[in-house]
């Protein structure tokens, strides 16, 4: 996930035009605990950028592997301008990703044979911009909205939670949201023609996802989810100062970001307090995570991490320098099993009382949240091991993926859900496609479909089919901010503009439909998705089709019978 995202999105890091930087004339917001000045004004987009606002205390010392805490009062430091804002420690990408890229390239070239490249377990040098003191967020607010703060109802807010396999990523990884902001103001379909954009950092790898009974006796599992929730609560408390409405907040994320949102919607099984989440709407793009309900699996990863650190307890691990933990984190991820990244959300009995699919099936979530979901046509191929070509290897793969499953359950997965029938009737015509479809469903696409079912089909869904339609390819379209010209990634700017309009329409009204774009119907009893595609000549091709993910296999996966 991570390096595939970076390869795609490094092309998006364009320098925004029309910025005014570090001017004393830029506005200041008083957050109570600190004063922040906008770090820039974009005269082209007419918005202020308040960057690197601290939303939580540095997660160091006793706060390492623990829930986030409020930031200390820092008013005595004077007005801050966002110049300080490290990103969270990143893990090295798993070695298998080299094979995945080579395999994908061989498929693209039509090669009939494939030889995996040599395994490279070298750990790259960490980026000097990394630090555990990384819990910052950005707020981009249009000038007219900011200047109207406190003078009437606030503007709708879009909060971005980045993806990156739960081991990497930053709030600015995908470039800037200038295109989304421009599209939100291109046509007025609500009281406010524009939206406010927020993006946040959260802890990654072992820093954010270390878990297991021993860890939970001294700290908190799912620290990354707790960071996100803390930032969302910050938005509820403070977004009015920027002109936003805390009652019109939409959270959006892709891959690990989308998977995180799955867990945010189902947090605490919908029973903590009044059961309401600190947002009103959610957009999940390719929501991805590998289910880890087993305490045994969690403890295994915990023990392996402490062994690499050379310590025996959480207390000892908290006293080590960041570089030691970062190295152990990267070593574990670098050696991860094909298609996996070691870390991610786990069932912890608290924030995640059960797998989200089961919680949705049981109705244990906040039903008031409006939902828009999306998935790509070819989600699984990047994570598909090309050496799994026979029944024995496939059996071993499923055993590794679902170690708690009974033999009869594993046989059911292999012989009934995804039988060795290659006539296309099950969605595949060869062993590689068979594993591709299985991974796509249990790790990504079924997660989206669970929400359609849970909300009685009163959702909105799209499928991104622009070739090769692999995981992550819709992100450059989401953050497209060029002047209408195609790029190396975005083949059709009209399609990018349409996707951005659908997103911003939903943020403003709870419905992606609106003027200037093809009709976007509700999912409904017909399982209707809007298919975003291009023709052979790269012309825009947006149509309605039936969701192939609305199938019995997803119904089975949702029951979590493999645990």
Strands 40-42 and 47-54 come out as antiparallel
What is the chain's length? 563
Question: DSSP letters of 73-127?
Answer: P-GGG-EE-S----BPPPPPPPTHHHHHHHHHHHHHTT-S---PPPP--PPPPPP
Distances (CA, A) of 322 to 131, 304, 309, 331: 8, 17, 11, 14
Give yes or no for a cis peptide into 468 (omega within 30° of 0): yes
Q: Which of 328, 303, 326 minimizes the C-alpha distance to 314?
A: 303
Give residue 39's Cα distance to chain centre: 26
Residue 344, classed as helix, strand or coil, is: coil
Q: Which of 261, 269, 251, 250 minimizes the C-alpha distance to 287?
A: 261
CA dihedral 357, 361, 367, 372 (to 10 degrees): 50
First to last CA, the chain: 25
CA angle at residue 205 from 203 to 206, to 5 degrees?
A: 95
The sheet carrying 370-376 orders its strands as 19-21, 40-42, 47-54, 136-142, 196-200, 155-161, 244-254, 281-285, 370-376, 460-464, 528-534, 540-546
User: In DSSP terms, which residues pair with 53 in a beta bridge?
Assistant: 137
> Within 13 Å of residue 517, how many CA atoms lie on the same side as its CB?
26
Catalytic-role residue among 3, 255, 465, 493: 255
Note if 544 is an active site residue.
no
Note if 379 is an active site residue.
yes
Q: How many CB atoms lie within 10 A of CB 68?
A: 24
Assess contact for 154 and 240: CB atoms under 8 A. Answer: yes
Residue 163: exposed, middle, or buried by beta-carbon count in 10 A (0-12, 13-18, 19+)? Answer: buried
| Phi and psi based region of residue 346 (left: phi greater than 0; alpha: psi -120 to 50; beta: remaining) | beta
Sign of CA dihedral 418, 421, 426, 428: positive
The sheet carrying 28-30 orders its strands as 28-30, 35-37, 79-80
| Phi and psi based region of residue 304 (left: phi greater than 0; alpha: psi -120 to 50; beta: remaining) | alpha
**CA atoms of 194 and 454, how far apart (whole Å):** 31
Catalytic-role residue among 194, 254, 379, 441: 379
Catalytic positions, written as ranges: 255, 379
């Amino acid at each position: 996930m991570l390096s595939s995202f970076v390869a795609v999105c490094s092309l998006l890091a364009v320098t925004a035009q029309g910025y005014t930087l570090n001017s004393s004339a830029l506005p200041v917001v008083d957050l109570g605990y600190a004063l922040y000045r906008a770090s820039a004004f974009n005269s082209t987009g007419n918005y202020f950028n308040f960057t690197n606002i601290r939303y939580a205390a540095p997660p160091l010392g006793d706060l390492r592997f623990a829930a986030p805490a409020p930031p200390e009062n820092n008013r005595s430091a004077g007005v801050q301008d966002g110049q300080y804002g490290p990103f969270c420690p990143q893990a090295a990408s798993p070695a298998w990703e080299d094979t995945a890229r080579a395999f994908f390239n061989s498929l693209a070239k039509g090669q009939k044979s494939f030889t995996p490249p040599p395994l490279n377990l070298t750990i790259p040098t960490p980026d000097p911009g990394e630090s555990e003191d990384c819990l910052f967020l950005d707020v981009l607010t249009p000038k007219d909205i900011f200047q109207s703060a406190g003078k009437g109802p606030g503007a709708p807010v879009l909060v971005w939670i980045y993806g990156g396999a739960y081991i990497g990523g930053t709030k600015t990884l995908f470039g800037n949201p200038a295109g989304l902001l421009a599209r939100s103001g291109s046509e007025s379909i609500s009281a406010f023609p524009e939206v406010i954009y927020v993006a946040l950092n959260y802890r990654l790898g072992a820093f954010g996802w270390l878990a297991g009974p021993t860890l939970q006796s001294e700290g908190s599992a799912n620290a990354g989810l707790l960071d996100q929730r803390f930032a969302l609560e910050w938005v509820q408390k403070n977004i009015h100062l920027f002109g936003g409405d805390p009652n019109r907040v939409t959270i959006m994320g892709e891959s690990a970001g989308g998977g995180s949102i799955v867990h945010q919607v189902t947090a605490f099984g919908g029973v903590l307090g009044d059961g309401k989440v600190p947002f009103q709407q959610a957009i999940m793009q390719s929501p991805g995570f590998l289910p880890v309900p087993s305490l045994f699996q969690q403890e295994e990863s915990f023990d392996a991490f402490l062994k690499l650190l050379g310590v025996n307890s959480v207390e000892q691990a908290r006293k080590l320098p960041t570089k030691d933990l970062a190295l152990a984190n990267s070593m574990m991820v670098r050696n991860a099993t094909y298609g996996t990244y070691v870390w991610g959300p786990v069932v912890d009995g608290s924030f995640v009382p059960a797998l989200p699919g089961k919680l949705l099936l049981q109705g244990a979530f906040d039903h008031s949240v409006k939902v828009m979901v999306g998935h790509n046509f070819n989600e699984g191929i990047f994570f598909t091991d090309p050496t799994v070509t026979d029944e024995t290897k496939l059996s071993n793969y499923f055993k590794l993926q679902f170690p708690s499953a009974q033999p009869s359950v594993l046989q059911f997965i292999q012989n009934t859900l995804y039988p060795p029938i290659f006539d296309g009737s099950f969605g595949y015509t060869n062993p590689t496609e068979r594993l591709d479809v299985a991974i796509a469903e249990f790790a990504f696409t079924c997660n989206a479909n669970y929400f359609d079912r849970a909300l009685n089909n009163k959702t909105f869904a799209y499928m991104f089919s622009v070739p090769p339609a692999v995981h992550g390819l819709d992100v450059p379209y989401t953050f497209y901010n060029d002047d209408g010209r195609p790029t190396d990634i975005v083949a059709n700017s009209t399609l990018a503009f349409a996707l951005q309009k659908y997103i911003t329409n939903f943020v403003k009204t709870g419905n992606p439909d609106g003027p200037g774009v093809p009709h976007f119907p509700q999912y409904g009893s017909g399982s209707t998705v809007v298919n975003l595609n291009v023709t052979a000549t790269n012309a825009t091709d947006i149509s309605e089709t039936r969701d192939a993910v609305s199938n019995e296999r997803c119904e089975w996966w949702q029951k979590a019978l493999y645990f």
